[in-house]
Structure 1
Amino acid sequence: MQRVTIALIFVAVHVSFASAQAPIPSRPDGYGVGGPADSHVVVEMFFDPLCPGCKASWPTVLQVIQAYGTRIHVRIHTFPLPYHTNSFVASQGLHVIANATSRNLDSIFQYATKVFENQAAWYNDATQSMTMPQVVDSLATFVASTGLVTKDKFLAGMAMDDINFETRVSWKYACSRGVLGTPTFFINGVFISADPTWSLNDWKSVIDPILGSNDKISTPVKDCPPNEKECTYAPHKTQCCLAGENCIPNVGCRCFNMKNGNKCA
Structure 2
Amino acid sequence: MEFKTIFVLFGVILVGYTSAQVPIPSHPDGYGVGGPADAHVVVEMFLDPLCPDCKASWPTVLQVIQVYGTKIHFRFHTFPLPYHTNSFVASQGVHVIANATNRNLDSIFLYVTKVFENQEKWYNDATKTMTMPQVVDSLATFVAQLGIVTKDTFLAGMTNDDINDETRISWKYACSRMVVGTPTFLINGVAVSADASWSLDDWKSVIDPILASNGVTPSKVQDCPPNQTECDYAPHKTQCCLTGERCIKNVGCRCFNLKLGNKCL
Bucket of the pairwise TM-score, normalised by the shorter protein: 0.7 to 0.9
2:127 corresponding residue in structure 1: 127
Amino acid at match of 1:61: V
Query: Equivalent residue for 2:184?
Result: 184
Written as runs of structure 1 = structure 2, the 5 A alignment for 1:136-147 is 136-147=136-147
- Letter paired with 2:131: T
Q: What's 1:154 paired with? A: 154
SS at match of 2:24: coil
**One-letter identity of the residue aligned with 1:201:** D
Per the alignment, residue 170 of structure 2 pairs with 170
- The one-letter code of the counterpart of 1:84 is H
Query: Cα deviations across residues 200-237 of structure 1 (Å, max 9, x unaligned)?
Result: 00000000000000007xxxxxxxxxxxxxxxxxxxxx
Question: Which amino acid in structure 1 is aligned with residue 161 of structure 2?
Answer: D
Q: Give 1:16 shift.
A: 3.3
For residues 97 and 19 of structure 1, the distance between their equivalents in structure 2, rounded to whole angstroms, comes to 30
Query: Gaps spanning 5+ residues in structure 1: where?
Result: 1-11, 217-265
**Partner residue of 2:53?**
53
Q: Please, what TM-score do these two structures have when normalized by structure 1?
A: 0.75
The 2-side partners of 1:18 and 1:201 are apart by 43
Give the drift of 1:187: 0.4
Matches of 1:17 and 1:133, distance apart in 2: 36
Task: Trace 1:1-265 onto structure 2 (pairs within 5 A).
Answer: 16=16, 20-215=20-215
- C-alpha RMSD over aligned residues: 1.8
Question: Which ranges in structure 2 are unaligned for 5 or more consecutive residues?
Answer: 1-11, 217-265
> Cα offset for 1:26?
1.3
Kindly provide the amino acid, as one letter, of the partner of residue 153 in structure 1: T
CA deviations over 1:169-210 (Å, ceiling 9, x no partner): 000000000000000000000100101000000000000000
**Separation (CA, whole Å) in 2 of partners of 1:20 and 1:165:** 15
Give, in angstroms, the shift of residue 18 of structure 1.
9.2
2: CA distance between counterparts of 1:150 and 1:16? 43
Helix, strand or coil at the partner of 2:33: strand
Equivalent-residue separation in structure 2 for 1:42 and 1:93 (angstroms): 25
List, as ranges, runs of 4+ consecutive aligned residues in structure 1 with deviation greater than 4 Å.
Answer: none
State the TM-score, normalizing by the size of structure 2.
Answer: 0.75
Question: How far apart in 2 are the matches of 1:146 and 1:20?
Answer: 39
CA distance in 2, matches of 1:134, 1:40: 45
Bigger CA radius of gyration: 1
Q: Distance in 1 between matches of 2:53 and 2:19?
A: 32
